[in-house]
Structure 1
Amino acid sequence: MNVNELANNVLQGKQITKEEALFLYEQPLLKLCGSADKIRRHFCANQFDICTIINAKNGNCSENCRFCAQSAHHRTGVVAYPLLSKEEIVAQARSNHEQGVLRYSIVTSGKGLSDPEVDAMCEAIREIREKVGISVCVSFGLLNEQQFRKLKEAGATRVHNNLETSRRNFPNICTTHGFDDKIQAIRAAQAAGLSVCSGGIMGLGETVEDRIDMAFSLQELGVLSVPVNLLNPIPGTPFECNERLTEDDMRRIVAVYRFILPRAAIRLAGGRGLLPDKGKSCFISGANAAISGEMLTTAGITTKTDMLLLKELGYEVKRCNE
């Protein structure tokens, strides 16, 4: 077994095993990343999927996710606010569309939106689709199939719901809902005809095996948009003292993910701004997507800066895996 042999197997359409993924994780970084980028070029060409998010409802979350600044269980100083108005959400969509962004995700805090809140978001989505044209994604928590169907009928195309970590490690991250609640919501969104964006956060205290197990869970779910977040240890959260992962750590993770999920848009997300090169080395190590602009409670990287970087790397901004 070697990196070249496993890469060739993936290029021929074969799936690697968990044991092979663990082997890859220990291989020399440059060899691993070069092979992962070869796989990325084969399956995804030079397509790069870039999206932006709007924090449409902030704070006061009932869930106790140990990494999150928005949890009501932690003292982080985050200012809570209710759902933004339709006008604010549509205006931000238009601004992003004018900057060349092709996906716009509306994100809200909380375990899930109520039916009246879902209806309000449907109105905003309809106006965005009618007056702006940008593709709309939603991240509204643990909704049911009926709610997801309403959102699809309004014009949403994709649902975001991170697994966050492996099944084994999930109870160390959150106890107010479970891994199976996440799976149920993802399957409900898929049953409603929506594509799914799901990944996790690296640096939560997970093992290498946890990282790989999460990737195989995503493979089993058929997820083709996979955010890879780097934990930004927020003061006031239980993880505020977690050691921050390095640029090489993130390169190794996205490279192994490319072997496991060869056709996916592997998306650098939260925490990318903490990397010295803002993710550039990951974009030649298997990653081919990013969240640009502001994050939920932390600063991001401007869309203009990202567009210049993608041009330098020879990428074409395009919606992937619709």
Structure 2
Amino acid sequence: MKTLPELETALIADGYRLTPDEARHLLHTAETDALCRTADRVRLHFMGNRMDTCSIMNARSGRCSEDCKWCAQSVHHRTKIDVYPLTDTAEALRHAQDNHDKGVGRFSLVTSGRAMTDREIGQCAAIYRAIAERMPGFQNGHLCASMGLLTRKQLQTLKEAGVGHYHCNIETAPSYFPQLCTTHTFDEKRRTLRWAREAGMRICSGGIIGMGETAEQRIEMAFALREIGADSIPINVLNPIPGTPLEKTPPLSDDEILRTFALFRLIHPQAHIRFAGGRTLLRREVQERALRGGVNAAIVGDLLTTIGSGVAEDREMFRQCGFAE
């Protein structure tokens, strides 16, 4: 079994790909700080010091038919969230313009629900065209979408409207997914992502850690994402929302979180490893250690059903950790 320095040399010099056995070995043997330092050097070699930022708009909230145990928007859970239909163009433009003016790199509409009708996709396509026309920073593939299990035709419509990335989290390891959701399958997610790539979009897919999975299952998730070919990997830390089945789930330790980010970087040397939901639950010191341990991307601003962090505050933290935008 290669040592951590040997793996770093192989990854950088030869384009070597970490094996599942090697990742599990590092999980149980590597010291956290050494693992983070190695991940940081691998990140710098392959991805440079650019911080990739994106923002999301909750464009349709609540009344989701799916029974995902982590989600506040499911009709199966009793949570106190705002419920509203699909946004209109004016409201979406307002959100997009605010983020564009703050220098955020990408913008995404995110909708609750299993999927969208063709009519709703047409409405969203019109919104995307209006955003691209008015905001040059969101042109050339910098618009994203997260709209559930769409059809080939719907994904092609979004691509033609200027969407460059399609997001659909696999959420967890294939072996653990059935314990968290019964109304759709891991394979349906994988199929949607395959169709999005066939339509010409890049893939944004990650998951949530801290939902009761084992550390080995986090490694399993990372390799499932490598098989899918994820270009951007948002890693959420569970925010246990009252009214969901996971509301009393014990939090992960700082070390578990940091080791997850670092190992995802070593498994995905050339992907964007992205801070996502739950980040504000972490102490500033832990966030900075993650930024020096493989992370090179972040969702900034407010999230779907929780408050995020300020864009200016985030940009200052990124700068202090050696990143540029």
TM-score when normalising by structure 1? 0.97
Indicate the SS of the match to 1:142.
Answer: coil
Work out whether 1:310 is the aligned partner of 2:311: no
Work out whether 1:160 is the aligned partner of 2:164: no
Work out whether 1:193 is the aligned partner of 2:200: yes
| Alignment RMSD (CA, Å) | 0.9
Please say if residues 246 and 275 of structure 1, whose CA atoms lie closer than 8 Å, have aligned partners that are also in contact. no
CA displacement 1:254-281 (0-9 Å, x = unmatched): 1001110000100010000000117221
Shift in Å at residue 48 of structure 1? 1.1
Q: Which residue of 2 aligns with 1:15?
A: 17
Q: Give, in whole Å, the separation in 1 of the partners of 2:313 and 2:160.
A: 34
Structure 2 stretches of 5 or more lacking a match?
Answer: none
Q: How does 1:286-305 map to 2 (within 5 A)?
A: 286-305=294-313
Identity %: 44
Indicate which of 255, 278, 287 corresponds to 1:279. 287
Q: Which residue of 2 aligns with 1:5?
A: 6
- Deviating runs (4+, > 6 A) in structure 1? none
Shift in Å at residue 82 of structure 1? 0.3
Q: How does 1:79-90 map to 2 (within 5 A)?
A: 79-90=82-93
Q: Give, in whole Å, the separation in 2 of the partners of 1:105 and 1:154.
A: 13
Indicate which of 78, 81, 105 corresponds to 1:78. 81
Q: Which residue of 2 aligns with 1:219?
A: 226
Q: How does 1:1-322 map to 2 (within 5 A)?
A: 1-11=2-12, 12-26=14-28, 27-133=30-136, 134=138, 135-277=142-284, 279-317=287-325
Indicate the SS of the match to 1:280.
Answer: helix
Aligned residue pairs total 317
Indicate the SS of the match to 1:316.
Answer: coil
Give the aligned residue type for 2:135: V
Shift in Å at residue 10 of structure 1? 1.2
Please say if residues 247 and 276 of structure 1, whose CA atoms lie closer than 8 Å, have aligned partners that are also in contact. no
Shift in Å at residue 249 of structure 1? 1.7
Structure 1 stretches of 5 or more lacking a match?
Answer: 318-322
CA displacement 1:187-242 (0-9 Å, x = unmatched): 01001001110000001111112111111111111111000000000011000010
Indicate the SS of the match to 2:145.
Answer: strand
Indicate the SS of the match to 2:56.
Answer: strand
Shift in Å at residue 176 of structure 1? 0.1
TM-score when normalising by structure 2? 0.96
Give the aligned residue type for 1:298: T
Q: Give, in whole Å, the separation in 2 of the partners of 1:209 and 1:251.
A: 15
Indicate the SS of the match to 2:96.
Answer: helix
Shift in Å at residue 246 of structure 1? 2.7
